[in-house]
């Protein structure tokens, strides 16, 4: 099992849908200061359930939602999806990929999904 894909929309500096594809082995995220490297790590922590805004370098729950800038309007939600390759069957499941999604709205509501099925 390995991390296959990370998709972000409206999460911190990612105003438009951004998808990062990963291969097996070691992956490095590199770029200049301010490019969003730390936000990629924050997105992974957040989608996997991090609740502490302090750990995500924020103060309020809506700090993770794109606030606008560079000619782009503020968004009303943040969404991150993390896809794991399960082709080896490491997790007993009928799915060869397992996608965990988390959404947060400015209202403070959160949604959690696994393979597009909402968790109650």
Q: Where are the domains of the chain?
A: 2-118
Report the topology of domain 2-118: Rossmann fold (3.40.50)
Q: Is-contact 89 18, C-beta < 8 A?
A: no
Mean pLDDT, range 1-23, rounded to an integer: 95
Helix, strand, or coil (residue 45): helix
Asked whether residue 21 carries a pLDDT value surpassing 90, the answer given is yes
Tens of pLDDT, residue by residue over 33-92, are: 988 899 999 999 999 998 888 888 888 888 899 999 889 999 999 999 999 999 999 999
Mean of the per-residue pLDDT values of the chain: 93
* Half-sphere exposure in the Cβ direction for 101 (13 Å, CA): 17
Percentage helix, strand, coil, to 5, in the chain? 10, 35, 50
CA-CA distance, 50 to 57, in Å (whole number)? 12
């Amino acid at each position: 099992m390995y991390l296959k894909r990370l998709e972000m929309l409206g999460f911190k500096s990612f105003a438009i849908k951004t998808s990062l594809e990963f291969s097996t082995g070691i992956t490095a995220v590199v770029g200049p200061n301010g490019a969003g490297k730390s936000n990629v790590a924050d997105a992974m922590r957040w989608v996997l359930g991090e609740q502490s805004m302090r750990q995500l370098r924020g103060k309020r729950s809506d700090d993770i939602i794109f606030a606008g800038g560079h000619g782009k309007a503020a968004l009303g939600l943040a969404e991150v999806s993390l896809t794991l390759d399960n082709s080896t069957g490491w997790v007993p499941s009928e799915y060869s990929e397992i996608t965990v999604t988390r959404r947060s709205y400015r209202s403070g509501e959160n949604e959690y999904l696994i393979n597009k099925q909402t968790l109650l």
